[in-house]
Amino acid sequence: METEEIVEELENVEVEIQNVQEQIKQLLDRQEKLYERQVELNSLLEACKASGSSMEFGAPVAVENWSGPFEWDSQADDVRLNVFGISKYRANQREIINVIMSGRDVLVIMAAGGGKSLCYQLPAILRDGVALVVSPLLSLIQDQVMCMAALGISAYMLTSTTSKENEKFIYKSLEKGEGELKILYVTPEKISKSKRFMSKLEKCHHAGHLSLISIDEAHCCSQWGHDFRPDYKNLGILKTQFPDVPLVALTATATQKVQNDLMEMLHIPKCIKFVSTINRPNLFYTVREKSPVGKVVIDEVAEFIQESYPNNESGIVYCFSRKECEQVAHELLERGISADFYHADMDVNAREKVHMRWSKNKLQVIVGTVAFGMGINKPDVRFVIHHSLSKSVETYYQESGRAGRDGLPSECLLFFRPADVPRQSSMVFYEYSGLQNLYDIVRYCQSRKQCRRSTYFRHFTEPLQDCNGMCDNCAFSSEVKEVDASHPAKFVVSLLQDMQGNDKRSTMLQLVDKLKNKRKELGVDLKREEIEQLVLQLILDRVLTEEFQHTPYSTNAYVTIGPLAKQVLQGRKIIKLEISSRHKNVTGNKKSTKRSVTSSVLEFKLDELRKELALVHRGIFPHSILSSELIRMISAQKPNSMEELEKIIGKLKTEKYGSRILEEISKYADTEPLDINAMLKDGPGNESRATKRLKTQKALLVIDSSDDEV
Ligand SMILES: Nc1ncnc2c1ncn2[C@@H]1O[C@H](COP(=O)(O)OP(=O)(O)OP(=O)(O)O)[C@@H](O)[C@H]1O
Ligand SMILES: [Mg+2]
């Protein structure tokens, strides 16, 4: 053998070894995921067996019956209505409160907006002493303390922003049990880094004044959760130091693995666990085909907002990159929508300012990257639009779940095109299970038949529930046909094999372009977007694989032959493609997703009133004065005395705002309800948004110019 030949073969062998190693890595990842899934399914099966035939979600997974009666029932009801202004408990709230009041530890898994805060705030008021609440973000803590202040509850925070005077008050309260301190918020760093604080807490406990410990956003403890925070890992010390104090850990989402992790790390093996459904029945999920032309996408986003939410209803638009974020915000602004951007490149003050304007309804839309995350506490977000797909089902569930935390109908719209996939895959491929997670959300987007909700139920290992037509696929499934794409798939594989034989690489888009020029050989007449769909499907089915190559400036994703390519070539694997007629008319599915925005004049006036009162009580959010749900209840019931109003919003809010509310009711209770959408549709199609708003306001006659215009 000539040296040259040896070198050449050696190179080939090395390349092949690399390929095999890559495949082994992928298979190991897959095996790991399957093991995880096996554990989850086994525990689900056990739970199902234990509770009879099927697991009852929404009901406590506890053996004891925690609904009551208990001696504190009437006192709890009184605080719920007269302090919090909440007329009835939501699922599991009463039971969780009872567990804490009984001195037991509890793990609460309850969807975003389910009402977790009440579960520890109410017992904090009922029990003697100080409740310690650990929360991961300063902004979340500030929000909560402000809301508590609006309710007249003595809540403080001990953070880097706390004044010396307040710090002194807090330490004195902890040490001597003096003062009125009921709830103390801290970040996890306080527990792990401040010896002084821990020693004061020790004294507080010793004197019997530590009433309960609450760990909010508890998933931050687990590396398997989506927002791991190293300082959360040290919170196990709380149960070790204060074993007799009830500890409550709360989170919106936790897979079985994360739940087990939390119980172990927080040392609460015997806790009572409440798992509420992850289902958010008020959210309508839609995936819309994304145009390759950037401007068209923005036009569609703008049209969606203007048509469905013409009254400054709050929303979020998520983008892939910082640059895209700024661009989209700018273009929405040009189209008359009050929008601003939010991303990690901005300094903290600028970010905070944007967030505040939005929280106070002075800005309609925040266009953000993933950096706009956990601290969002606004309950009345009516829509969350994804300009690009998220990196996993879990991330999408979290981000879209910021809509409708007040329980009112809201929409989650994702713009998807296959070309966005390599952008994400070249970012996530090095993360643990990064590609698998990405492909799960891509499957969600590609499917035109399967209920969107079913993906969430499967992901969080929960039995399926009825979607009630609250996703595009359930609303439009009849328009989808499934075609056998095995033949074109074979052609794609052969083409790629030839290219690889000639040492040529191809990105997904290059491959699609090539295939587009070889329509005849494909054997079926597929449109460009259908070819993109096919290539992506082959990646999802592991017939093709994405491979990554680094340059000094970026990582490029290429499409190559995958582990199951042979099966396709041999006709042993059938490839199915779901083709929808829906995409022909991109705006066609708007009809069903768009809810008619019907409001009464009274609702408008009460909305204006809460904004006015929020300004008077500086710093409070309008929704802390009256939630959208309370506005709806008042408008429906039209109470005409303080006593009647008190039954809806409780004593405290009635005392503070009752006379102003009754004044509005007496003026506007009898005015006819108005369908704002219908009114807007009457106008010429090319009117500007400002004109439309003006027209709406004129037609309403009673609407004054408001301060929420930007
Ligand atoms: N029983 C109830 N009836 C009506 N509204 C409620 C009830 N319980 C809570 N709420 C309201 O629901 C909204 C969301 O509550 P909360 O902030 O506690 O949600 P959460 O479960 O902590 O959600 P997240 O996971 O997003 O933090 C708040 O505006 C709260 O006042
Ligand atoms: Mg919360």
Ligand 1 proximity of 401 Cβ (cutoff 6 Å) = no
Let me know: does 440 contact 397? Beta carbons within 8 Å. no
The ipTM estimated for the assembled molecules is: 0.99
Give me the pLDDT at residue 204, please. 95
Ligand 1 proximity of 622 Cβ (cutoff 6 Å) = no
Number of residues that make up the chain: 710
Give me the pLDDT at residue 619, please. 66
Ligand 1 proximity of 97 Cβ (cutoff 6 Å) = no
From ligand 2's centre to the CA of 330, what distance in Å? 31
Ligand 1 proximity of 227 Cβ (cutoff 6 Å) = no
Percent of the chain scoring above 70 in pLDDT: 87
Task: Please determine, for residue 691, whether its predicted confidence score (pLDDT) is greater than 80.
Answer: no
From ligand 1's centre to the CA of 217, what distance in Å? 14
pLDDT band at 707 (very low <50, low <70, confident <90, very high): very low
Give me the pLDDT at residue 670, please. 78
**Among protein residues, the one whose CA lies closest to atom 25 of ligand 1:** 112
Please give the full DSSP string across 202-268, using - where no structure is assigned.
HHHHHTT-EEEEEETTGGGG-TTSSS--GGGGGGHHHHHH-TTS-EEEEES---HHHHHHHHHHTT-
Let me know: does 102 contact 268? Beta carbons within 8 Å. no
Give me the pLDDT at residue 337, please. 97
From ligand 1's centre to the CA of 354, what distance in Å? 23
- Long-range CB contacts (within 8 A, 24+) of 648-653: 648/87, 649/85, 650/81, 650/82, 650/83, 650/84, 650/85, 650/86, 650/87, 651/81, 651/82, 651/83, 652/82, 652/83, 652/85, 652/151, 652/152, 653/85, 653/625, 653/626
Ligand 1 proximity of 118 Cβ (cutoff 6 Å) = yes
In the three-class reduction of DSSP (H, G, I as helix; E, B as strand; rest coil), residue 515 is classed as: helix
Give me the pLDDT at residue 604, please. 85
Task: Please determine, for residue 368, whether its predicted confidence score (pLDDT) is greater than 50.
Answer: yes
Give the pLDDT confidence of 151-193 residue by residue, as tens digits. Answer: 999 999 999 889 999 999 999 999 887 668 999 999 999 998 8
Cα within 13 Å of Cα(288), Cβ side: 27
Let me know: does 180 contact 205? Beta carbons within 8 Å. no
Ligand 1 nearest atom to the CA of residue 379, by list position? 29
Give the pLDDT confidence of 557-585 residue by residue, as tens digits. Answer: 999 999 899 989 998 889 988 887 654 33
Average pLDDT, the chain: 85
Which whole number is the average pLDDT over 390-419?
Answer: 93
Ligand nearest to the CA of 378: 1
Q: Mean pLDDT check: name the lowest of 208-217, 540-549, 613-622.
A: 613-622
Give me the pLDDT at residue 228, please. 77
Ligand nearest to the CA of 624: 1
Task: Please determine, for residue 678, whether its predicted confidence score (pLDDT) is greater than 50.
Answer: no
Strand partners, 274: 108
pLDDT band at 477 (very low <50, low <70, confident <90, very high): low
**Among protein residues, the one whose CA lies closest to atom 22 of ligand 1:** 116
**Among protein residues, the one whose CA lies closest to atom 8 of ligand 1:** 115
Ligand 1 proximity of 114 Cβ (cutoff 6 Å) = yes
Which whole number is the average pLDDT over 365-379?
Answer: 87
Task: Please determine, for residue 657, whether its predicted confidence score (pLDDT) is greater than 70.
Answer: yes
Residue among 95, 117, 153 whose CB has most ligand 1 atoms within 8 A, to mutate: 117
Ligand 1 proximity of 405 Cβ (cutoff 6 Å) = yes
Residue among 96, 405, 620, 653 whose CB has most ligand 1 atoms within 8 A, to mutate: 405
From ligand 2's centre to the CA of 405, what distance in Å? 10
Task: Please determine, for residue 370, whether its predicted confidence score (pLDDT) is greater than 70.
Answer: yes
Residue among 92, 119, 133, 406 whose CB has most ligand 1 atoms within 8 A, to mutate: 406
Ligand 1 proximity of 86 Cβ (cutoff 6 Å) = yes
Task: Please determine, for residue 110, whether its predicted confidence score (pLDDT) is greater than 90.
Answer: yes
Name the residue with higher pLDDT: 544 or 627.
544
The pTM of the whole model exceeds 0.80 = no
From ligand 2's centre to the CA of 622, what distance in Å? 18
Ligand 1 proximity of 247 Cβ (cutoff 6 Å) = no
Ligand 1 proximity of 379 Cβ (cutoff 6 Å) = yes
Ligand 1 proximity of 561 Cβ (cutoff 6 Å) = no
Ligand 1 nearest atom to the CA of residue 80, by list position? 1
Give me the pLDDT at residue 685, please. 39
How do 381-386 and 314-318 pair as beta strands? Answer: parallel
Give the pLDDT confidence of 303-353 residue by residue, as tens digits. Answer: 999 999 998 999 999 999 999 999 999 999 999 999 999 998 998 889 889
From ligand 2's centre to the CA of 217, what distance in Å? 7
Q: Mean pLDDT check: name the lowest of 58-62, 122-126, 438-442.
A: 58-62
Token pair of 305, please?
Answer: 């907002």
Give the pLDDT confidence of 641-656 residue by residue, as tens digits. Answer: 999 999 999 998 999 9
pLDDT band at 225 (very low <50, low <70, confident <90, very high): low
From ligand 1's centre to the CA of 118, what distance in Å? 7
Ligand 1 proximity of 627 Cβ (cutoff 6 Å) = yes
pLDDT band at 64 (very low <50, low <70, confident <90, very high): low
Name the residue with higher pLDDT: 690 or 213.
213
Kindly provide the residue ranges of all beta strands, DSSP E only, lying in 122-203, ordered along the sequence: 130-134, 155-158, 183-186
Q: What's the CA gap between 364 and 315, in Å, rounded? A: 6
Cα within 13 Å of Cα(552), Cβ side: 0
Give me the pLDDT at residue 446, please. 92
Percent of the chain scoring above 90 in pLDDT: 53
Give me the pLDDT at residue 526, please. 82
Task: Please determine, for residue 387, whether its predicted confidence score (pLDDT) is greater than 60.
Answer: yes
Task: Please determine, for residue 597, whether its predicted confidence score (pLDDT) is greater than 80.
Answer: no
From ligand 2's centre to the CA of 540, what distance in Å? 35
Q: What's the CA gap between 299 and 295, in Å, rounded? A: 6
Give the pLDDT confidence of 484-512 residue by residue, as tens digits. Answer: 999 999 999 999 999 988 888 899 999 99
Ligand 1 proximity of 406 Cβ (cutoff 6 Å) = yes
Give me the pLDDT at residue 692, please. 39
Task: Please determine, for residue 213, whether its predicted confidence score (pLDDT) is greater than 50.
Answer: yes
Ligand nearest to the CA of 401: 1
Give me the pLDDT at residue 50, please. 56
Ligand nearest to the CA of 117: 1
Ligand 1 nearest atom to the CA of residue 407, by list position? 12
From ligand 2's centre to the CA of 118, what distance in Å? 9
Give me the pLDDT at residue 56, please. 39
From ligand 2's centre to the CA of 497, what distance in Å? 52
**Among protein residues, the one whose CA lies closest to atom 14 of ligand 1:** 113
Give me the pLDDT at residue 63, please. 44
Task: Please determine, for residue 595, whether its predicted confidence score (pLDDT) is greater than 70.
Answer: no
Ligand 1 proximity of 374 Cβ (cutoff 6 Å) = no
Q: How far is CA 198 from the centre of its chain?
A: 34
Give the pLDDT confidence of 11-52 residue by residue, as tens digits. Answer: 888 878 887 887 887 788 778 778 777 877 776 676 666 554
Ligand nearest to the CA of 408: 1
